[in-house]
Structure formats: structure tokens, C-alpha cells
Amino acid sequence: MTKPNNTERDLLDLILVNGSLISGNLFVSSGLLDVGTGAGSTNLYLSLHTAGLGESPASGQDTSECTIGTYLRLAISRTTNNWDSLGGGLFANGNVTNFTWLAAGVTNTPQVITHWALGVTNSGPGPVIYSGPLADSDAQPFTVDDSVSADVLQCIAHGHNSNDQVVLIALPNVTFPSGVTSNLLLYARDVSNDGLSVTAVAGNAAINIGSGAGLIAGMTAQTISENNTPRFTSNTLRITED
């Protein structure tokens, strides 16, 4: 089952920019519900997280959320000033200023940020609309056949190096390999041009994984400490609807 590109585009358009670009294919311009007020929401709220949220985050957008220094969720207005349509079911952030947090301030407890999320509440366990890893490359398809090459992800010309941070991403209606979890920080090892293994800790033995398939992307976890200023530069926060 799949959606055509124009439906994917219009759905993201409805959520991210309040229907400002809608082609008239299916939807009409409409606000999202702000769970806190019960009224229509003109903003989405962007949060940073120390782990993946998964398909059913236990505490909504509060799950594994950053708590360092002056950190607060960013209010991102649902306008074309903030989100660019890149074609099909793909949008990306456009306005760097609005995707920049305050400097962390004085703190003795740095945190490693690995994921982001978008929701409709400025604090608390509100519903998550989209979430993802801090990927630094486009995701590529991989397959694993553990009857042929145990623990090896086959991915043509993947471009990853030993000890690179990576994330594996599950696909709908596709068997994801056992032994690993979608959207969690991993490290590459045993690298060849078209294959690699993964480990949870850099330098450790490869994880024993079963047959399956999914996507792999490079990842850049960020350590947020005193006076750091987290930000997403233009076109680095990408949201795909499929």
C-alpha cells in the first residue's frame, strides 16, 4: 500500500505550512489542534532528544527529551517561510534563525542529542507528529541475509567508514532484522564497499542480526554542553511522507 506523490505532498503541506501550497487534490487549508488549548494551532513545536522515540513514545514528546540549561521547545510557525517543499513527499526546514535554540548556559551535565521530534504542544507529553534521527546523509536501502553473510548489511556503495555513527530505519510492511532496533544510534564496523556490520558501542563486536531489510543513514549525535547553541542549518531537517 502506498500514497501517490501529490497526496504525500499535500498531507505534509497541510501539517507543516497550514495548507498554503495545497494543489486542491484532497485537502482544504485547515489548522491543527493545539492539545493544550483545544483551539487551532498556528505553530508546531520542535524538540531535541537523547534517544529515539519509537512508534509508541511512552510519554509523548516528553520521551527522552533534552533538559539541559535554557533548553525549551522551539515554536515553528506553520508557514512557507519555515518549510520548503522539495518535491513529492519531502519537505525541509528553510529559515535557519527559527531553527536555532538559545545557548545552553552554565551547566555541569552535558547531554548527547541523537533525535528530534515535532508536536503541537510547547511542553509536556503532547502527541508526536514526526520524529527522526540526526541524520547527516540520505537514507539508503540495505538487506541482510544471515544464511549467507551473518551480521552483514548489504548496501551498495554506502560510503560509511569504520566507527561512523549510523542509524537503521524500519520500512512499512518490510521485515526488519532482529537484534537491532529502528532509529537508535549505532556504529559501523567491518566495512567494505558494499557491506558493513554494526555495533552499539564503537570498537565492540558486531551485533548478531537476523535477515531483513530497511534503510541506513549516517548520523551525527551532538553533545550539548555549556554555551553550545544547537541549530538545524537550512535543508538539514527533512521530513518525508510515504
- Do 150 and 107 fall within a single domain? no
- Do 52 and 128 fall within a single domain? yes
- Do 105 and 213 fall within a single domain? no
- Do 76 and 169 fall within a single domain? no
How confident is the model over 93-121, as pLDDT tens digits? Answer: 988 889 999 988 877 688 989 999 999 88
Rg (CA), the chain: 19
179 to 31, 49, 60, 208, 209: CA distances (angstroms): 41, 23, 25, 6, 5
Residue 182 identity: S
pTM assigned to the model = 0.81
Domain hosting residue 210, numbered range: 140-218
- Do 57 and 12 fall within a single domain? yes
- Do 115 and 145 fall within a single domain? no
- Do 91 and 205 fall within a single domain? no
**In the 8-state DSSP scheme, what is residue 100?**
B
- Do 228 and 214 fall within a single domain? no
DSSP letters for 71-83: --PEEEESSTTTE
Grid cell, residue 187, equals 556504529
pLDDT in tens, the chain (242 residues): 567 777 888 888 888 888 777 665 566 555 676 666 666 678 899 999 998 887 888 899 999 999 988 899 999 999 999 999 888 788 899 888 899 999 888 776 889 899 999 998 899 998 899 998 888 777 899 999 987 777 899 999 999 999 999 999 888 789 999 999 888 889 999 999 999 999 999 999 999 999 999 999 998 888 888 888 899 888 888 888 86
* pLDDT score at 200: 93
- Do 30 and 117 fall within a single domain? yes
Q: Give the chain's domain count.
A: 2
> CA–CA separation, 46 vs 233, rounded Å?
14
Grid cell, residue 180, equals 537491532
Alpha helices in the chain (DSSP H): 5-16
- Do 175 and 196 fall within a single domain? yes
* pLDDT score at 240: 82
> CA–CA separation, 12 vs 5, rounded Å?
11
